[in-house]
Structure 1
Amino acid sequence: MTSRSRDPITLSVIQAGLTAAADEMFAVLKKTAMSPIIYEVLDVGTGITDARGELVSSGAGIPTFVGVLDKAVKRILEIEGAENVREGDLFVTNDPSYGGVTHLNDVVIAMPVFAKGELVAWTASIAHWNDVGGMTPGSMSTTASEIFQEGLRLPAVRLFDTGTLLQPVFDIIMANSRLPDFVRGDLWAQVAASRRAATRVAQLVDTYTLQTFRDALENLFEEGERRARAGLAALPRGTFRIEEEQDDGAVWHAEIRITEDAFTVDLSGNPAQRRAPYNTSRDGAVISSQMIFRALSDPTLAANAGSFRPLQVITEEGTIFHATGTAPHGYYFETRIRLYDMLWQCMSRALPERMPAGHFASICGTVLAGDHPDTSRRYTMVEPQMGGWGATATRDGLDAMYSASHGETFNCPVEICETRYGIDVGYKRLNESDAGHGLHSGGKGLSVSYKPRAQTVLAAGYSRNRVPVWGANGGDNGGTNAIAVQRKDGSRETYAFISGLVVEPGDEVVISTANGGGWGRSDPRKGRDDHGLPPGPGSLRGGRQPDLGPRYPASGRS
């Protein structure tokens, strides 16, 4: 019996139950984690897949993190074999070659769910751990040339074997972190989250039968694909190309081909992978492509595996978008978000009325590590920063938002920073740059001052440091991102990427993030409409209303 012959109300109840289970998983992780990067910033993702690793539902959190989970589960199944996965098993991975997808700090916990003796689903989460060893506190060295230098690699290994805790694995993890107590707490929070969601999934199967449960999943995938193909049908057909220079002078390329049946992202011909921590795995490039396809085709509901069936991604092994071997990945997130931003810019040129101008397009990851001046307890502060989003055809850009990859995340409160780390926050305010003018202006970036009260070590990665945020449809470019250290002797050092930099008491870390790009000309020329477009086929005159469609991906969903 197929899903189409089942009661649609029952199918909807099961699907809603799976979404609720993923949300409950997220709530458990938020409430029980040790680290502020998890419980305050919400630098996590939670989700449920089917037995094959196909994404079913996701909780709140970072959309690009949710995009990791199905890929991690599939890699675990590939390594272990489904026939060797047993009830009570629980796996951990952080290595890009073994389902970790991102960098070693981002740790995936995945648990198979059994019902009536059969593997029916997986519950999985990913969270940023403050320190997993490596060359520098916080495990994010800018000088790493091999992944071995970035910390402990966990190649999809069991934490639990048929319900039995494997203590040696826990011991290895703790021994390789500068913050073992925090790592232990965050690890158990992820374990608890997986277990809670697994209980909910098993209850759904017991209540509605295994066959009905599987019918509900198939129905969900069919609906996701239907919505994706309906969105694809509304996009312009053709081939759209972009070439963009990066801060380091490298030139990236992309081609997006839209046909009746497929949305293809071709990343052939890009620079070779580097002996530096600015590579991403193929899965990372796929996630960036999923984000742009999702934003264009169906941004309104949570995604599932069916949502991406029309998407095809072409990469070349050995490039920065498909790194292999021992390539380091510490700042993969800057490469991945810049790829996403470049794809966004490519489609913005084709759909200027629908898509915003560029945003600050950097995580602006900032790590400060040291000993607390009052308690002497070791800490590592990990802080993404906020910046300006691009203007649209109807309004100015939004001020001081997290990057478009970040979804429903938050800044760490000043009180937490000052209490947990002993770092005074001098100010946190909108920056004073006037970049990003246009008919509608880009949103404001942020200015932040950190003043450590004891010696600390800084690591940071800020792209869009030289090449400014792009304006759209004649709007001005936005600004650039930078981090600087104002020394107590009056000297000033400005950086884009840095690690291992000692900051003394009396020094000040000063952060400036970019304004978003402007949209449209602020003084339209004669013969052009109010949006700076020439009248004719590209104009929205003649009574047709602009279809603004998606701006950035729906918060908290992949």
Structure 2
Amino acid sequence: MHSLDIFTRDIIQNALQAIADEMFAAMRKAAMSPIIYEVLDMGTGITDAQGDIASSGAGIPAFVGVLDKAVKQILKHHHADEIEDGDVFISNDPHDGGAVTHLNDVVLAMPVFADRHLVAWTANIAHWNDVGGMVPGSLSTEAVDIFQEGLRLASVKLISRGQPIRSVLQILRANSRMPDFMEGDLWAGIAAVRGGALRLQQLNSKYGIDLFLQAMRDFMDLGEKISLKALATLPGTTLSLSEPQDDASVFKVGITISHTEMLIDLRDNPDQCAGPVNLSRDGAVVAAQMTFKALTAPQGVTNGGTFRPLKVLTRPGSLFDAQAPAAEGFYFENMIRVYDLLLRCLATAFPERLPAGNFASVCATIIGGVHPDTGRLFTLVEPEIGGWGAEPGRDGNNAMYSGLHGETYNCPVEICEARYGLYVERMTLNDEPGGHGQFRGGRGICIDYRVRSDASFMTCGYTRSVVPPWGLQQGEPGSLNYVEVIRQHSDVRERYAMASSVPLNAGDLLRVRTGAGGGFGPPGKRCKDAVRDDLKNGYVDAATACAVYGVQG
């Protein structure tokens, strides 16, 4: 055992975080698609040689949780002598590639060698606009198996000893409707993993392989200690919850908390379906990991050791442990359903730690067609922002991304209008009522997209379109997520939540509405001055202020 003082350990551990953040910045600056460089629909990280996450970079929490699983799958598919210095692997298959999400989310991973020893991996994941399949954008609510959703890449070697494998690049280009965007985003990801690998090699040269590896082991042990310390402060308890969903199915969870473990049981849930909302087991595990982190030590370190005290039970062939060839294009809606289900179950026992329900949907909005100015195909892929739930002493946040997304951003109007064949005519807070309470839920948004060209289309994947976000401690439920299509020269409004390839023509209007979060505490206890501020800001109207809060406008 080599001696590792606390100062050197901290320097190496902070260097790992800085390297992961630098990878994120490089990828953002080089990417071609706004979904990556504006929305930041991506994530970066570093794993140890065995694939356990050593440092989570910036990006979507659910994406960072994917990277270790993808690297472990690469190690499973390739013998040690097939993994060489300079290699880069590509993967996107939730059934056999460790990507755990859907085919549009592509992982790039690079082994890092020091003195010919494999010491770590750099990895990233990002949403690609189109990977083939039955519809533009590769996401269809009508897909019944994964073969209809695009090109599957199960831990494929893309670059060998520093040299691109041309045949693989040709396959990628031939299977995308937007090959230029695909290739631009691909090389941005490659640049990021290569840059991170170089930094890690420099770190090993400075401190030596043994100290570097020991620092990573110590860091993971620290992650475990922080989780166990947090669990020790919680009362031992067993919880369960059943919750109806938009489609009338019922999701169930059991949670057992002890001083040394959190056990999450998702086995008693519906069978996998013939649609695209299935979730892989690893996807369910990522949702459980985020929940575990939110309850235990949300500000503490996150690495492979953090989740050692977490155990997740699933049933193969169920909606949360889908088997091939299940379609998973809209996996994210059931991933966030699992996450929200777990939070709701825990919030009943720990209302002081967790807020009321939020709009809890990615609200994926996909609009495509031919750009009227350039004649090029475009595909806008826009996750939407919505209202978060209230908590003790605090109103919910307005217009934030869901818990799966972390610190991501909506696409700026200027970029949207320049890159896509659309006008954004309005973006305001949603004025539909909901989320009343002593502390109110945050407001969702209302966005109007005006279509500029004929033969366009819209695909959407929203949940919480029937069952609203839940309130806590007598707080009222929030409001719903949905999309309206308002045809030019017509007053008829078509309402959608899960739909594919809805035809659109020039002049048609898409109106997106995302929900308010749930309220916390009885509405009658809300401070009168706060209600008046709500009136002033348009969060409630005079009738609601009078009927719900007892305050005259």
* Structure 2 equivalent of residue 517 of structure 1: 518
Counterparts of residues 163-202 of structure 1 (less than 5 Å): 163-202=162-201
Choose between structure 1 and 2 for higher RCO, CA contacts under 8 A separated by at least 6 residues: 1
Match of 1:540 in 2: none
Residue 218 in structure 1 maps to residue 217 in structure 2: yes
Q: CA deviation at 1:523?
A: 2.4
SS of residue in 2 equivalent to 1:26 = helix
Alignment of 1:8-27 (within 5 A): 8-27=6-25
**Number of the residue aligned with 1:481:** 481
Q: Deviations over 1:286-339 (max 9, x none)?
A: 000000101111111341001101000000000010001100000000000011
**Alignment match, 1:555:** none
Q: Which amino acid aligns with 2:494?
A: E
| Counterpart residue type for residue 57 of structure 1 | S
Corresponding residue for residue 339 of structure 1: 338
Question: CA RMSD, aligned part only?
Answer: 1.0
Aligned residue type for 2:288 = S
SS in 2 for 1:124: strand
Show CA shifts across 1:9-36 (max 9, x none): 1111111111111000000000000000
Cα distance between partner residues in 1 of 2:169 and 2:414: 32
Partner of 1:495: 496
Q: Show the counterpart of 2:452.
A: 453
Per the alignment, residue 348 of structure 1 pairs with 347
Map of 2:89 onto structure 1: 91
TM-score (norm 2): 0.93
Secondary structure, counterpart of 1:309 in structure 2: coil
Q: CA separation in 2, counterparts of 1:354 and 1:228?
A: 16
Aligned counterpart, 2:426:
427
Whole-angstrom CA distance in 1 between matches of 2:278 and 2:106 = 18
Instruction: Find the residue that maps to 2:260 and give its secondary structure.
Output: coil
Q: Is the 8 A contact 2:99 2:107 kept in 1?
A: yes
Q: Return the alpha-carbon distance in structure 2 between the equivalents of residues 397 and 262 of structure 1.
A: 30
Q: Which moved more, 1:348-357 or 1:308-317?
A: 348-357
Any unmatched runs of 5+ in structure 1?
526-558
Secondary structure at 1:299 match in 2? coil
The aligned amino acid for 2:457 is V
Matched to 1:462, the amino acid is Y
Counterpart in the other structure of 1:65: 63
* Paired position in structure 1 for 2:465: 465
Which amino acid letter does the alignment assign opposite residue 64 of structure 1? Answer: A
Q: Distance in 2 between matches of 1:211 and 1:354?
A: 40
1:37 corresponds to: 35
**What is the distance in 2 between the residues matched to 1:523 and 1:487?**
41
Contact 1:33–1:186 (CA under 8 A) maintained in structure 2: yes
How far 1:524 moved relative to its partner?
A: 5.6
CA distance in 1, matches of 2:56, 2:523: 41
Give the TM-score normalised by the residue count of structure 1.
Answer: 0.93
What is the identity, as a one-letter code, of the residue corresponding to 1:79?
A: H
Distance of 1:104 and 1:12 partners within structure 2: 37
Distance 2:313 2:81 in 1: 31
Counterpart-to-counterpart distance in 2, 1:500 and 1:474: 40
Q: Which moved more, 1:153-162 or 1:339-348?
A: 153-162
Shift in Å, 1:481: 0.3
Gaps of 5+ in 2: 527-553
Matched AA of 2:77? I
Equivalents in 1 of 2:521, 2:225: separation in Å?
A: 34
State how far apart, in whole Å, the 2-side matches of 1:522 and 1:250 are: 30
Give the C-alpha shift of residue 79 in structure 1. Answer: 1.2
Q: Supply the distance in 2 between the matched residues of 1:111 and 1:354 (Cα, whole angstroms).
A: 38
Return the match for 1:74 from 57, 72, 77: 72
Are the counterparts in 1 of residues 437 and 525 from structure 2 also a CA contact under 8 Å?
no
Alpha-carbon displacement from aligned partner over 1:416-457 (angstroms, at most 9, x marks no partner): 111110200010000112201011000001000000111311
How many angstroms apart in 2 are the aligned matches of 1:401 and 1:162?
42
Question: 1:6: how far off?
Answer: 1.3
Look up the equivalent residue of 1:71 and give its one-letter code: K
Deviation sequence 1:102-142 (CA, Å, 0-9, x none)? 00000000000000000000000000000011111111000
Cα distance in 1 between the residues matched to 2:419 and 2:162: 35
How many angstroms apart in 2 are the aligned matches of 1:352 and 1:521?
14
Counterparts of 1:178-327 in structure 2, within 5 Å, are 178-327=177-326
Q: State how far apart, in whole Å, the 2-side matches of 1:520 and 1:331 are.
A: 34
Give deviations 1:520-550, integer Å, cap 9, x for gaps. 112269xxxxxxxxxxxxxxxxxxxxxxxxx
Report the equivalent of 2:532.
none
Rounded Cα–Cα distance in structure 1 between residues aligned with 2:273 and 2:258: 34
After TM superposition, give the deviation of residue 191 of structure 1 in Å. 0.2
Question: What one-letter code is carried by the residue in structure 1 that aligns with 2:523?
Answer: S
Separation (CA, whole Å) in 2 of partners of 1:522 and 1:420: 44
Residues 137, 457 of structure 1: 8 Å contact kept? no
Q: How does 1:404-423 map to 2 (within 5 A)?
A: 404-423=403-422
1 CA distance for matches of 2:7 and 2:80?
A: 32
Q: Report what 2:542 is aligned to.
A: none
Identity of aligned residues (%): 52
Aligned partner letter, 2:7:
I
Task: Pick from 45, 48, 56 the counterpart of residue 46 of structure 2.
Answer: 48
Q: Secondary structure at the match of 1:96?
A: coil
Q: For 1:157 and 1:352, how far apart are their aligned partners in 2?
A: 45
Cα distance, 1:260 vs. partner?
1.8
- Output the CA distance in 2 between the equivalents of 1:310 and 1:302: 15
